[in-house]
Structure 1
Amino acid sequence: MKNVKWGVFSIAIIIFWLYWLVPSFSSTSSLPYDDEQEGLEDQLTIRFSHVVAEHTPKGLAAQKFASLVAEKSNGKIKVEIYANATLFTDEEEVNALKQGKVEMIAPAYSKLTSLIPEWQVLDLPFALPNDQAVEEALQGQIGQILFSKLQSFHIKGLTFWENGFKQVTNSVRPLIHPTDFHGLRFRTMPSEVIQEQFRLLGAIPKVTPFHDTFRELYYKQVDGQENTISNIYSKKFYEVQPYMTISNHGYLGYVVLMNETFWERLTPSQQQIIVEALDETTTWMKTHAKIINEKQLHEIVQTKRVNIHELTDEQKREWLSHLYPLYERVRHQVGEQLINEVLRIQQKYLR
């Protein structure tokens, strides 16, 4: 027993002397320095979720924004892009933003209409007839009012991104007159205005997430859909939709949003970096969205798979006359100020 006690005592003495005589055993101060770890604790990550393909106008804009943020922050702010609904579908992303599950999204305007009815004004058919009308509306009174409506939901509106005008495709027949829509089933976004638009045309609307649209078209769960050329091209809708009408009946743009609590935690310099990067991206997107849509329309034409009809001015007026009751139906939800302003812009630019 004495030998055991002496052995334990001897080991304790050895450990004691090693502790004091060899500091490297008791301290991490002399560990090799890894300069690649420097600053990682200070890096800010922003998760940016969207539902379209990487090579669409929105997909490319998101990538450019991420690159500019990294450059302007010297790598201290990282924007992680999650495209093609890999994080959240278009029906989920607004709630995900509100709950802080993601920091940034860029939904189509229509995705906000169930939350904030005033946003329905941008879904009204032929509300913004051309690019000049879009610019005047979004950078003017309409844009200011709509951004102010986000505040009560703790969502920070940052900027508007452009995509292009919507066209109509279907697998049954050419759509030239309003009566041509009768009985057709159309995939729509979750906007009551858009659904009512198709009901007025005699069609049957069906709300479907964007990432499910090709499958619905392929299996003929719906007959047609409306979208920009870039989305029709990137998702290959033209492969299963032999008829397209260049109608420009609605504008599909995006609003870049951030979780307000996250935004308020940012330092003024971090906020400035994000604002500057968004300004540059928005300017870049105005030019490139139009170029992309024109180029991809040409490529669709070259496939010779689609019968394409472009509405004349007279046919556009025929469509608008058929759809005009929508303006009065949503007036009380949207409000007099927004309706009157969009009508002023429409009358200014509609030929």
Structure 2
Amino acid sequence: MKSLMTCLGLMILGIVIALFIGFHDREAHEELYYDDDQEGLNDQIVFRFSHVVAENTPKGLAANKFAELVRQKSGGHIKIEVFPNGSLYSDIEEIDALRKGDVQFIAPSTSKLGMLSPEWGVLDLPYAFTSYDAVQEGLNGEIGTQLFASLKKNNMKGLAYWTNGFKQITSNKGPIRTPDDLKGQALRIMQSDVIEDQFRQLGAAPRQDSFNSTFQLLENNLVDGEENTISNIYSKKFYNVQDYLTISNHGYLGYAVMTDEHIWNSQTEETKRILTEAMKETTEWNEKHAEQMNKDQLKEIKENSPISIYQLTKAEQDEWMKRLDPVYQQYESVIGRKLIRELLELRKSYETDS
């Protein structure tokens, strides 16, 4: 019996020694292959930023700049992964992706936000803004504040307004000089009833569709034309499948940078500070560069494309405004009379200044 107990004791001792040696060896192995970079990755905060335009556009460049500023300000602790060109979600899908937490930042065109709140349609009204200065005054003032406040009921937080520029018209049936020249033409437009109704006002046949489907629609002659900023016409090479371009400046195209309220509120104060500072600096940069980018890319199109370009005169533009103004009254009950009046007062002040 004593011999048996001795054997059992030796076996237990052997097992304990083996476990100790094994644990020591594993610890030594882990210490030997310990990777400082890996610890940084484990601690790193990663946010996904999805958008649908090319990187060489005002929004694309702003998204990349925001990511770089966040990286610098956080010492690499916070990473913004940017997914351009609709590589994650289309412009129709991205709002739902934000709601589900599949992405943390999006910057949809303000036209898309009409699906959340009808007030956003105010920015789609024809000739809502007549200059970049008017855009900044409107969006940095009461109009912009009211629109961001409307996001709260959907548990979303507006972080900034980024500008692209003013929309122009391209077509394979032209030239487009008067409102009547659009009669019967099928045009791809963004998902906006306000935009649809203004083109119906001119006798056109608008088709709401996603941005990334536009080139294919034009190439396959499923539509005659489209409306867009010069930077989008340039980056997506719409000028290769269109014969006419009219500089009409008939509408504004900008973006609302957004996140989910729950995501934002779950961040530390330091993370919020870094994101807020980087967003503010990015927005200031965007405001300075968007206008010039559209000018430079229009010059590129003129020099390197056979597309025929026509610039509306002041008298012609006034005629377009007169024909489209009934849309304002049409949407007073939808958007809100107060908001539309504020926009019209702003527009009038800039018309007087000019």
Query: TM-score normalised to the size of structure 2?
Result: 0.93
Q: Write the deviation string for residues 206-236 of structure 1: whole angstroms up to 9, x where unpaired.
A: 1111011000000000000000000000000
One-letter identity of the residue aligned with 1:175: I
SS in 2 for 1:38: helix
Equivalent pairs counted in the alignment come to 346
Report the Cα distance in structure 2 between the residues aligned to 1:18 and 1:225, rounded to whole angstroms.
Answer: 75
- The verdict on how the C-alpha distance between 1:311 and 1:27 changes in structure 2, with shifts beyond 3 A counting, is same
Contact 1:51 1:83 in 2 (8 A): yes
Q: 1:196-215, aligned counterparts within 5 Å? A: 196-215=197-216
Report the Cα distance in structure 1 between the residues aligned to 2:322 and 2:87, rounded to whole angstroms.
Answer: 40
Report the Cα distance in structure 2 between the residues aligned to 1:194 and 1:175, rounded to whole angstroms.
Answer: 18
Tell me how far 1:29 sits from its aligned partner: 8.9
Contact 2:240 2:305 in 1 (8 A): no
Instruction: Identify the range of structure 1 (25-34 vs 139-148) with the bigger mean alpha-carbon deviation.
Output: 25-34
Report the Cα distance in structure 2 between the residues aligned to 1:103 and 1:326, rounded to whole angstroms.
Answer: 35
Q: 1:1-351, aligned counterparts within 5 Å? A: 14-20=14-20, 24-25=24-25, 27=27, 31-32=31-32, 33-350=34-351
Q: Runs of 5+ in structure 1 lacking a partner?
A: 1-6
Q: Name the structure 1 match of 2:3.
A: none
Tell me how far 1:303 sits from its aligned partner: 2.1
Report the Cα distance in structure 2 between the residues aligned to 1:240 and 1:8, rounded to whole angstroms.
Answer: 87
SS in 2 for 1:221: coil
Tell me how far 1:42 sits from its aligned partner: 2.2
Report the Cα distance in structure 2 between the residues aligned to 1:30 and 1:347, rounded to whole angstroms.
Answer: 70
- The verdict on how the C-alpha distance between 1:297 and 1:8 changes in structure 2, with shifts beyond 3 A counting, is farther
SS in 1 for 2:176: coil
SS in 1 for 2:232: helix
Q: Percent identity?
A: 47
Report the Cα distance in structure 2 between the residues aligned to 1:55 and 1:23, rounded to whole angstroms.
Answer: 54
Report the Cα distance in structure 2 between the residues aligned to 1:72 and 1:266, rounded to whole angstroms.
Answer: 16
SS in 1 for 2:184: coil
Query: TM-score normalised to the size of structure 1?
Result: 0.94
Q: Write the deviation string for residues 80-120 of structure 1: whole angstroms up to 9, x where unpaired.
A: 00000011100111111112111000011100012210000
Contact 1:244 1:308 in 2 (8 A): yes
Tell me how far 1:172 sits from its aligned partner: 1.0
Tell me how far 1:43 sits from its aligned partner: 1.1
Which structure's residues are more often helix, by fraction?
A: 2
Q: Name the structure 2 match of 1:4.
A: none
What is the root-mean-square deviation of aligned Cα atoms in Å? 1.9
One-letter identity of the residue aligned with 2:283: T
Tell me how far 1:40 sits from its aligned partner: 2.6
SS in 1 for 2:242: coil
